[in-house]
Homo-oligomer: A and B are copies of this chain.
């Protein structure tokens, strides 16, 4: 017990390196200066001089911002600021890692919460054409294969987000789905409640928003139950 308390109170020292500091300073610089996409940053040598470090260190710092998608480098032009893609770094990290169980559960839950919260936007934006497309997707549900089912899930729920009119959200859920699939497949439990995709479409067509929320909850019920045993 004592050691645990220690570990919590005295977190690692981790003295920052020059590159860490440069990274921070560059971030500040980007924030302070109101760069427009395409604007050029000072050149590496100038930054190096201003910060009092070698060009190498500056390059390491810049390299990190590049990874975040905040800058791009053009020969002769120098480094230019670009509007970063919010999800790209998230995507990079979500893929390769082995998450701990807690985070895994959190992410699993996150997706459920998103699905459950979608109703309002759907009922605000849906059109007859949307429903028709959704209906078609739901009809092609026959395939049984595992990889196929995932593809189908992606198609159906992806279309839902599309109807909601939120591209970021759609991409987000596409990223989440493999994780979702990983969790659902490691146990041999039903992956669908008593309400299936076709039923959901039917509700979306003729039912109220409240009906839809209830339907979605039924549809996701096995997953919610799965949370108990995590």
Contacts and interface: CB of A to CB of B under 8 A. Distances in A.
Interface of A: 14, 17, 19, 23, 27, 30-31, 34, 56, 59-61, 63-64, 66-70, 72-73, 83-84, 86, 89-90, 92-100, 102-103, 105-107, 109-110, 112-121, 124, 164, 166-169, 172, 210, 213, 217, 224, 227
**Copies of the chain in the assembly:** 2
B64 A106 contact: no
A68 B23 CA distance: 13
Contacts of A56: 56
A72 B123 CA distance: 47
B89 A84 contact: no
A5 B100 CA distance: 42
Given A27-B96, A67-B67, A168 B106 contact: yes
Nearest to A220: B120
B96 A31 contact: yes
A167 B70 CA distance: 28
A109 B166 contact: yes
Given A117-B115, A166-B109, A100 B83 contact: yes
A121 B113 contact: yes
Contacts of A96: 27, 30-31, 70
